[in-house]
């Protein structure tokens, strides 16, 4: 479908208001992106010039460098960094002691994101008590047997993540299915619509959604849209919030990129949340761009997944959205949007989120808990496989003790570097008994775990360092919900479309992939 025809489907007035400016070299050079890139390059050049100037005073500088590097190595070994990260930094320190030491100090000293960390913690503290755990729910024998009660208590160390038994859940095995249900839910909105997405891109999907949002805003519905600030580099103009404001829609870019060096740019909002009236919520891997519903082809057929929640657990996603939205609000409002009405009992549901600004690796811990408690099988959809030592060990240990561990990954990658890195893990996982499959038709973007027919996680959390360490993420934990059967069915129906990776056909991987994967694995924690 041509771009002009796509725009016509949701109104020429909106088209003129929101159409992106023409692309080209001049737009890049004179845009905010070009200025940011130029000024960042200048800052890096100044740092390199300072290092070369110091290097000219070789005798005393060499001694100072040795002492400084030894101090950094000592500090590194006594830090709480994971072992894989320490190995990466040791490699960099061996190659370039002073630049690597400065870079390590720069990243460890929270330069540029202390204010962000403080604001996030303030929002978490301000929202504590807004939702409370029904202790009677945690006393159910089946929860105690499965360890779900323990997992709930762990999650509530770092936030407010109640476990609910009053929520219905629907699973969508594709972006197209989620999109259709999403439009229906949006059209029924009466009070408020909250959208928080990592990627928004103009086209058929976003245009269709935007048409409904505009109509709802005209009807007096409180409509809020938040997307990650990196969209300004890729899909949206920098003034997009102002453009949506002209439609009556409140809009924010999370952590826009400005022209100064800062570690906080590493922390992106990778979450996908839609909440409508506090009654319905959507979560999963599907962003608001046409490839996610296969309206355009990128990397073959796009395989994704999502869930819809109706009932009490929706309040958790409402709270997550407001925590991020209120970071820049002087007078944050909470209570009028909480709590959510109960629905029919459909097992147990626990939405949760993960922040890179605390010391809890929530996303990874939930995955490892499922792997360590699994009795029969763990089946996994993931677009990326860039593992730290702990998660790789958990996958191997589950397989080695007789659990059927199967992973479905992309057959057509979106990033060749990530694809090569994934293959660098294959041999060790296969030798431990893990089964690996690649989706022949295209790209898998689903982030799904399903275990023993009674547990599942559907959300935004990939098996890579960016998701597990550097992004704001969210997911939905399910125990004994009816849709878990649908999730496992989706996995089984996808398997025939995959090729199985074995130790024998792994030898067919090109030398280029093997070499690039081996090289990139050294710096994988920094990717």
Residues 402-461: tens digit of each pLDDT: 999 999 999 999 988 888 889 999 999 999 999 999 999 999 999 999 999 999 999 999
Choosing from 296, 325, 350, the residue where a domain stops is: 350
Q: Which of 487, 513, 489 is nearest to 501 (CA)?
A: 513
* Selected residue with higher pLDDT from 22 and 200: 200
Residue 19 within a domain:
no
Q: Write down the pLDDT at residue 28.
A: 43
Strands 306-311, 442-444: pairing kind: unpaired
> pLDDT band for position 480 (50/70/90)?
very high
Mean per-residue pLDDT over the chain, rounded: 85
Instruction: Taking the CA atoms of 192, 198, 201 and 204 in sequence, report the sign of the dihedral they define.
Output: negative
pLDDT of res. 368:
97
pLDDT band at 30 (very low <50, low <70, confident <90, very high): very low
- 72, with CB counted inside 10 A (0-12, 13-18, 19+), is buried
pLDDT of residue 10: 44
Name which of 366, 364, 352 is nearest 158 in CA terms: 352
Angle between helices 204-218 and 175-187 (to 10 degrees): 10
Residues 187 and 273 in one domain: yes
The dihedrals phi and psi of 21, each to the nearest 5 degrees, come to -65, 160
Strands (E), 325-446: 348-354, 377-381, 404-410, 435-439, 442-444
Residue 185 shares a structural domain with residue 316: yes
2, part of any domain: no
* 218 in any annotated domain: yes
Within a domain: 25? no
The CATH number of whichever domain residue 178 belongs to comes to: 3.30.870.10
Residues 220 and 237 in one domain: yes
Stretch 389-408: mean pLDDT, rounded?
97
Quick one: pLDDT at residue 242? 95
* pLDDT at residue 46 tops 80: no
Burial class, 48, CB count within 10 angstroms (exposed 0-12 / middle 13-18 / buried 19+): exposed
| Cα R_g (the chain), whole angstroms | 24
Strand, helix or coil for residue 517 = helix
Domain termination site, one of 325, 350, 375:
350
Residue 27's pLDDT is what?
44
Task: Name the band, by pLDDT with cuts 50, 70 and 90, for residue 491.
Answer: very high
Residues 95 and 201 in one domain: no
pLDDT interval class at 11 (50, 70, 90)? very low
Place of tokens 């891109």: 201
User: Which among 288, 321, 350 is the end of a domain?
Assistant: 350
Sheet containing 222-228: give its strands across: 167-172, 306-311, 280-284, 272-276, 192-197, 222-228, 250-254
Q: Are residues 272 and 127 in the same domain?
A: yes
pLDDT beyond 70 at 17: no
Averaged pLDDT, 163-178? 97
Range of the domain at 101: 31-108
Which H or E run includes 226?
Answer: strand 222-228
pLDDT at 29 over 60: no
To the nearest whole percent, how much of the chain has pLDDT over 90? 54
Q: Please check whether residues 287 and 139 belong to one and the same domain.
A: yes
8, 15 contact by CB (below 8 A): yes
Distance from chain centroid for Cα 148: 23
18 band by pLDDT with thresholds 50, 70 and 90: low
- Confidence check: pLDDT of 4 > 90: no
Q: What's the pLDDT band for 369 if we cut at 50, 70, 90?
A: very high
Asked, for residue 4, whether it belongs to a domain, the answer is: no
In this structure, the answer to whether residues 118 and 98 fall within a common structural domain is no
Shortest CA distance to 517 belongs to which of 392, 414, 427? 427
Contact, 134 vs 339, CB < 8 A? no
Q: Are 378 and 448 in contact (CB under 8 A)?
A: no
Listed range (183-192, 334-343, 512-521) with the worst mean pLDDT: 512-521
Mean pLDDT of 104-123: 71
**Do 449 and 344 belong to one domain?**
no
Q: List Cα–Cα distances, 326 to 252, 320, 323, 465, in angstroms.
A: 11, 10, 5, 27
Paired with 102 in beta bridges are none
Q: Beta partners for 272? A: 197
- Span 383-401, mean pLDDT? 96
Quick one: average pLDDT of 378-400? Answer: 96
Residue 322 lies in a domain: yes
Positive or negative CA dihedral for 398, 400, 401, 403? Answer: positive
Count of domains forming the chain: 3
- Please check whether residues 346 and 391 belong to one and the same domain: no
Question: Is the entire prediction scored with pTM above 0.75?
Answer: yes
Which tokens belong to 485? 């059967």
Q: Is residue 443 part of a domain?
A: yes
Based on the fold, state whether residues 123 and 104 are members of the same structural domain: no
Q: Are residues 186 and 206 in the same domain?
A: yes
Q: Are residues 408 and 455 in the same domain?
A: yes
Look at the alpha carbons of 197, 202, 205, 211 in this order and tell me if their dihedral is positive or negative: positive
Provide mean pLDDT across the span 356-366: 90
């Amino acid at each position: 479908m041509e771009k002009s025809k796509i725009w016509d489907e949701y109104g020429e007035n909106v088209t003129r208001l929101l159409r992106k400016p023409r692309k080209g070299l001049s737009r890049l050079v004179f845009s905010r992106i070009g200025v940011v890139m130029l000024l960042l390059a200048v800052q890096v050049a100044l740092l390199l010039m300072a290092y070369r100037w110091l290097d000219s005073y070789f005798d005393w500088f060499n001694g100072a460098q040795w002492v400084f590097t030894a101090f950094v190595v000592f500090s590194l070994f006594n830090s709480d960094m994971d072992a894989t990260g320490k190995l990466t930094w040791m490699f960099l320190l061996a190659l370039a002691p002073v630049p690597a030491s400065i870079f390590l100090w720069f990243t460890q000293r929270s330069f540029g994101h202390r204010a962000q960390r403080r604001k996030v913690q303030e929002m978490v503290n301000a929202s504590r008590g807004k939702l409370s755990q029904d202790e009677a729910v945690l006393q159910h024998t089946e929860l105690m047997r499965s360890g779900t009660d323990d997992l709930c208590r762990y999650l509530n160390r770092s936030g407010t993540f109640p476990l609910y038994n009053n929520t219905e859940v629907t699973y969508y095995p594709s972006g197209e299915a989620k999109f259709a249900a999403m439009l229906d839910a949006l059209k029924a909105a009466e009070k408020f619509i909250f959208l928080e997405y990592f990627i928004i891109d103009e086209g058929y999907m976003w245009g269709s959604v935007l048409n409904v949002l505009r109509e709802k805003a005209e009807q007096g519905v409180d409509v809020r849209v938040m997307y990650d600030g990196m969209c300004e580099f890729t899909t949206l103009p920098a003034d997009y919030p102002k453009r949506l404001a002209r439609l009556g829609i409140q809009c924010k870019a999370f952590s826009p990129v400005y022209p100064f060096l800062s570690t906080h740019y590493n922390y992106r909002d990778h979450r996908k949340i839609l909440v409508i009236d506090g009654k319905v919520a959507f979560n999963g891997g599907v962003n608001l761009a046409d490839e996610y519903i296969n309206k355009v082809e990128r990397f073959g057929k796009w395989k994704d997944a999502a869930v819809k929640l109706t009932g009490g657990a929706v309040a958790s996603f409402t709270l997550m959205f407001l925590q991020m939205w209120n970071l820049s609000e002087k007078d944050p409002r909470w209570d009028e949007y909480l709590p959510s009405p109960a629905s029919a009992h459909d097992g147990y549901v626990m939405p949760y989120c993960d922040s890179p600004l605390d010391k809890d690796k929530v996303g990874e811990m939930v995955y490892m808990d499922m792997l360590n408690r699994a009795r029969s099988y763990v089946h996994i959809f993931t677009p990326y496989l860039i593992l730290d030592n702990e998660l790789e060990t958990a996958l191997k240990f589950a397989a080695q003790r007789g659990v059927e561990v199967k992973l479905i990954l992309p057959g057509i990658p979106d990033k060749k570097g990530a694809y090569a890195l994934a293959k660098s893990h294959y041999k060790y996982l296969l030798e431990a008994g893990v089964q690996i499959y690649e989706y022949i038709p295209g790209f898998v973007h689903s982030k799904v775990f399903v275990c023993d027919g009674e547990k599942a996680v559907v959300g935004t959390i990939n098996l890579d360092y960016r998701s597990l360490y550097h992004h704001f993420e969210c997911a939905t934990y399910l125990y004994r919900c009816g849709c878990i059967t649908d999730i496992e069915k989706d996995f089984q129906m996808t398997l025939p479309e995959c090729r199985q990776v074995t130790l024998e056909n792994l030898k067919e991987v090109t030398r280029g992939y093997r070499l690039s994967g081996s090289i990139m694995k050294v710096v994988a924690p920094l990717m």
